[in-house]
Amino acid sequence: MFEFAGKVAVITGAGSGFGRAFAQKGAALGMKLVLADVNAAELAQTVDALRETGVEVIGVPTDVSSAAAVEALAQAALAAFGKVHLLFNNAGVGTGGFLWESSANDWSWVFGVNVLGVAHGVRVFTPIMLAQNEPAHIVNTASVAGLLSPPAMGIYNASKHAVVSLTETLYHDLKLAQTDTGGVSCSLLCPAFVPTGIADAERVRPDELRNASRPTRSQIAAGKQLHRAVEAGKLSAADVAEITYEAIAARRFYIITHPGIMATVKLRHDDIEQLREPTDPMSLKPEVKSAG
């Protein structure tokens, strides 16, 4: 059983959405917090609100797509609290539309945050955790879109599939590197769409990666569908945080917040095993259409 009180958690994407909910839950469990976000204003709001309740917390504005920035985040965490016991590689962005209409900037932005952000977190913090010789845990936020391949979400899907594979491999690597089963472990979080800021991720896109051209029809349609799916989410970010911390406590690897989606995941696996053409997950039950 993983213990939280008095331990140190580092959370990326903590200015809003899941990250803020993870911070609030960690604070309620008595954790010390190191919060990171590319949006300095939103990050400051989260930090200030927690400090007012007596939480030991620092905020470190961080672009997780930058290796140097994530390394600086780790140094700030160690300078403030000396150790890191829990890492949420949570920061994420998304864009939609037909794959051939997606720009090089779209690919660079989404993969920079969603994939390299997780990779930098694993690369920088895992050695720190291993050297501590204490129980520690890493949570990588993927998505149901890392288990399925909905249309008009190609870049996001590909980035989240990468996080799924990266995290499964991390699990195996940690097993090979350690003899103590109570050492460093990890979890893969795959939520469906929940009311968070993911539908408005463009607000944090760097100027140098913005598109000069206007959105295409498929991109506009995908954006509208994303907003509808997010707004229709039946679980809150706080609900997902509760589920996630329960899984961490039990050191459970797969964290599926919307178990109803598993029938569709199984269908995808059946398609592969039987060499069928892939089934469009959006053509299935209504609850599938809110998965992301």
Known catalytic residues are 156
Of 233, 39, 13, 230, which Cα lies nearest the Cα of 140?
13
Q: Which two three-digit tokens encode residue 98?
A: 């037909």
| Radius of gyration of the CA atoms of the chain, in A | 18
Give bridge partners of residue 9 from the DSSP assignment: 33, 86
Of 17, 230, 274, 258, which Cα lies nearest the Cα of 148?
258
Residue pair 109/205 in contact (Cβ under 8 Å)? The answer is: yes
Q: Residue 54: left if φ>0, alpha if ψ -120 to 50, beta else—which one?
A: left
Q: Which two three-digit tokens encode residue 209?
A: 């990666």
Of 89, 75, 85, 28, which Cα lies nearest the Cα of 53?
28
- The enclosing H or E element of 139 equals strand 136-141
Runs of H (alpha helix) within 57-111: 67-81, 104-111
Q: Which two three-digit tokens encode residue 170?
A: 């991390």
Residue pair 148/268 in contact (Cβ under 8 Å)? The answer is: yes
Of 136, 131, 98, 94, which Cα lies nearest the Cα of 111?
94
